[in-house]
């Protein structure tokens, strides 16, 4: 019988393969948003798989406790009745604190989460979305492959885990001197910080 951690890891890999497969479909209009959603789902499953390994496969270690619940341990629950689990951001921060995850990788996930949240709850108004996803996504995939290898000793070279270069999908060139609106300036600043975090650690050490 597979361990809970292994089942989560396998689903994480499947989600990342799906994310890349969708992204590399050049004529798929929702490809960038779909990649962000699936890639972040893959990372959340992978982080939770690692978390379970560090906590003796106790599912309760993933659950969010109720405050002031009286006697016994009570957990917050969804509308379905299932226990709420800690967010990707919470677990990523904890793993950084425990020196299991690079801070640069965590920052990369924060940027990807911002993209995902906007895609899920509203929509992106900036035409540079595909270009931004390419920058963030490349680091996201590389970090994922490294984490699977480092944490679980699994080699993912059997999969074609790469993002198709922008030049292959017919992305029009961005013209210099075009004025950015407030929304686009916000994304430019966000990704400027995110890209810097993706390439090096605070002490200057290259990312993975």
**Per-residue pLDDT tens for 50-96?**
999 999 989 889 898 877 655 667 878 877 878 888 999 999 999 99
Rounded to two decimals, the pTM is: 0.74
Q: Is 84 in contact with 75 (CB distance < 8 Å)? A: yes
Q: Which CATH number fits domain 4-63+81-168: 3.30.2010, 1.10.287, 1.10.8, 1.20.120?
A: 1.20.120
The per-residue pLDDT for range 94-137, each reduced to its tens digit, is 999 999 999 999 999 999 998 888 777 666 566 666 677 788 88
Domain chopping of the chain, boundaries? 4-63+81-168
Residues linked to residue 200 through DSSP beta bridges, in sequence order: 206
Q: What average pLDDT does the structure give for the chain?
A: 78
């Amino acid at each position: 019988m597979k361990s809970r951690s292994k089942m989560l890891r396998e689903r994480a890999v499947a989600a990342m393969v799906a994310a890349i497969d969708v992204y590399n479909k050049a004529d798929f209009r929702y490809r960038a948003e779909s990649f962000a959603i699936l890639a972040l789902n893959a990372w959340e499953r992978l982080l939770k798989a690692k978390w379970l390994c560090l906590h003796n496969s106790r599912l309760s270690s993933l659950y969010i406790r109720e405050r002031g619940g009286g006697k016994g341990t009570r957990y917050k629950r969804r509308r379905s009745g299932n226990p709420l689990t800690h967010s990707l951001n919470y677990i990523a921060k904890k793993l950084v604190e425990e020196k299991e995850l690079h801070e640069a990788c965590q920052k990369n996930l924060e940027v990807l989460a911002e993209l995902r949240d906007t895609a899920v709850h509203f929509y992106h108004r900036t035409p540079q979305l595909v270009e931004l996803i390419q920058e963030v996504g490349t680091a996201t995939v590389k970090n994922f492959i490294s984490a699977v290898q480092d944490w679980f000793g699994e080699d993912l070279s059997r999969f074609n885990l790469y993002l198709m270069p922008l030049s292959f999908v017919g992305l029009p060139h961005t013209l210099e001197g075009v004025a950015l609106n407030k929304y686009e300036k916000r994304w430019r600043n966000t990704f400027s910080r995110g890209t810097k975090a993706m390439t090096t650690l605070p002490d200057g050490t290259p990312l993975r």
